[in-house]
Structure formats: C-alpha cells, structure tokens
Amino acid sequence: MSERASRAQHRWLANFRKATDFDSWGKLVEALDEYHILAMQLIKEAQSAAGTSVFTEEQKITLGKTAACLKLRSKALQSTDNSEEPFTLEDLRKIEPVIKNILTYDKEFPFDVQPLLQRKLLVPGEEQSLDGVECELGMEDGMVAGSAVDTSMHLSSVHCSGSLLPRLPSEPGLTTLSFRIDKIGLKDAVQCIDPYITVSVKDPNGVDLTHVQDTPVASLQEDMFVHFGIEVEIQKPIEKLPKGTAIFFEFKHYKPKKRITSTKCFAFMEMDEIKSGSVVIELYKKPTDFKRRKLSLLTKKPLFLHIYQTLHKE
C-alpha cells in the first residue's frame, strides 16, 4: 500500500466525517463548505495524470463518483424543490465505506452516478467574485434512482496552465534570473483549493517593473506542504532593476464560501538575496504590502516558501 495513498485516504475519511457531522447538526453553511472542499480534492486526484497519481484508473472513477454524491447532497441541502426525492444524509453515509476502503474497494458503487472527473477553470487574476458564474463539468447529468440531476457547480478561478512567460533572450554582459518554486509550508496545506502563486517584481513604491505572472495550480498537497516544482523566468535583467527592487510571491487559493480567489499570505525577496542555489523565504500575513512598511509574520512556526535560484549570464 502506498504511504501517500494511505495518507490521502485517511485525510478524506476525516474530512467526510467532519462534513457529515456538520450536516447532522444542522450547520448547513459549514457542511456545504466541507462537502465542496472534499469534492474538489477528490476531483483533483481523479483527473490527475497517470504518472503522477498513486491511484489506479478504476479507483479514480470511484473517487469521481464519490465527488458526484457529495455534489448531490449539497444540491439537496440548497434545494427548495420538493417535487423530487432528495439525496439524504443517510444516502450519503452509504459511501463512507467506499472512502474508508478506497484502496481495496471491489464492490459495486452504491449509486448509479456519473463521476465528476473534468473541470473547466477560468483564467487567473486578482481576487474576483464568481457569484452567478457556473461552469460546466463537461459530462452528462448524473443519474440517481432514475432521476436526472444537474452536476454543474461553482469552481475556482484558477486556470491549470497559469500565465508564465518564457526566458528572455540573452544579452552580452547582462544577467537574467530564473527560479524553481519548490514548495510552500502551511499548517492547512491540504485544505487549500486550487492553490497557485502570483509572482511580481516591484520597485520601492510598489510599482510593477515587469509583467505579473501566475503559476499553474500546485501539483501536490500533502502534510504541511503545497508542492509546485515550477520554473519562473524574471522578465528583466538584474542589472536593469533599480535599487530597492523586490520580487513578490503571493500565495492564492479559492474560497468556496465567498466564491472568490483570495490571497492567503505572501513572501518577498530583495536584491541582496538573489544568488544561485536554494533559499527559504519567510511568509507574511495578508494584505500584501508591496512597499514593505508594515510586515507581520504569518506564523511563528518554521514554515517558509522554498525556491531554487539560477542566474544566467551571456
């Protein structure tokens, strides 16, 4: 049994029980939030590439079906239409053994549903509201007990491909900087939905000196880290950056309750920190202070942004 798969299984089971507890206590807002978070985690794993997933294709389909049931329960909690039979909490509890035994489950899935496997995501940008925006999941409506069920749902504002730019052409005597964003440490790393990082280069007054770039969504979330492994190219030679320049890294994620993409924390690197090799950067509380005047550490725990820098000179 893969250790990573086992950890994911236990995390999903704990999240499922937390969500159903809220549901049984009548805390509907909290239940909806937890159902959405868990569904997005399952969908992300279900649509992951074969080379990066620790689950089989058959297990991914089961995860997608489990996500569909979470969506059905969420729909029932929000519905005011009594004309069709709702998907009850008792119904939902029937999938707990599926999550608990996902690595060995070989029985027929309790409900006839279409798996939620594909997502249509919007282009990244600044914090934005998604109220009233509903994205298609690229599949037929799910079927439960012979009744058609709409499987559309509100989704994150992050596009998988990001908006990274290529390396600058080399110029004699000038140095360009690229770095690999390896990972960021957060105490609630596995709870972040579609996390990505916005990279910007600012002068001392907070004015952009290059194009702002967004990374793709993170490749992996486990324990207390969000993993990226993504290369970013700074779009101006170091020699052309004015004194006092800083490179900012804003960690962003989707908040389903508010339906916005939100900045969770930020880090920055000043010119004297630019050098080849690994570096860890402290994390600060939002809002992002591009002028670096009022800074407050996110936590006293040793959690940082980990990057690897490379200098290129003709």
What's the pLDDT tens digit per position in 204-243?
999 999 989 999 888 788 778 999 999 999 999 999 999 9
More confident residue, 108 or 86: 108
Structural domain including 55 reads: 3-117
Residue type, 27: K
Q: Is residue 19 part of a domain?
A: yes
Please state the domain count of the chain: 2
Residue 101 sits in a domain of what CATH number?
1.20.120.360
pLDDT surpasses 80 at 146: no
The reply to whether 215 and 109 lie within a common domain is no
Supply the pTM of this predicted model: 0.56
SS3 state of residue 161:
coil
Q: Is residue 16 part of a domain?
A: yes
Q: Is residue 126 part of a domain?
A: no
Of 117, 139, 155, which residue sits at a domain end?
Answer: 117
Which three-class secondary structure string do you get for 3-69?
HHHHHHHHHHHHHHHHHHHHHHCCCHHHHHHHHHHHHHHHHHHHCCCCCCCCCCHHHHHHHHHHHHH
More confident residue, 282 or 53: 282
The reply to whether 112 and 189 lie within a common domain is no
Length of the chain: 314
Q: Is residue 276 part of a domain?
A: yes
Peptide bond into 237 cis (omega under 30): no
Closest CA to 99 of 64, 51, 129: 64
Q: Is residue 98 part of a domain?
A: yes
pLDDT surpasses 90 at 297: yes
pLDDT surpasses 80 at 308: yes
Q: Is residue 163 part of a domain?
A: no
**pLDDT, averaged across the chain:** 81
Q: Is residue 279 part of a domain?
A: yes
* Burial group, residue 135, by CB count within 10 angstroms (0-12, 13-18, 19+): middle
> Could you report the per-residue pLDDT of 148-204, keeping only the tens digit for each?
233 333 333 334 457 888 888 888 999 999 999 999 999 888 888 889 999 999 999
The reply to whether 298 and 196 lie within a common domain is yes
The reply to whether 12 and 102 lie within a common domain is yes
Quick one: average pLDDT of 271-299?
92
- pLDDT recorded at residue 283: 96
CA pair distance 59, 106, nearest whole angstrom: 10
Quick one: average pLDDT of 44-54?
75
The reply to whether 113 and 24 lie within a common domain is yes
The reply to whether 291 and 192 lie within a common domain is yes
The reply to whether 208 and 290 lie within a common domain is yes
pLDDT surpasses 60 at 104: yes
Q: Is residue 143 part of a domain?
A: no
- The backbone torsions φ and ψ at residue 94, rounded to the nearest 5 degrees and listed phi first, read -70, -15
> Could you report the per-residue pLDDT of 132-144, keeping only the tens digit for each?
323 322 233 333 3
Residue 232 sits in a domain of what CATH number?
2.60.40.150
Q: How far is CA 48 from CA 36, 51, 106, 140, 189, in A?
A: 18, 8, 21, 20, 18
Quick one: average pLDDT of 48-75?
85
CA pair distance 150, 38, nearest whole angstrom: 19
Quick one: average pLDDT of 13-27?
92
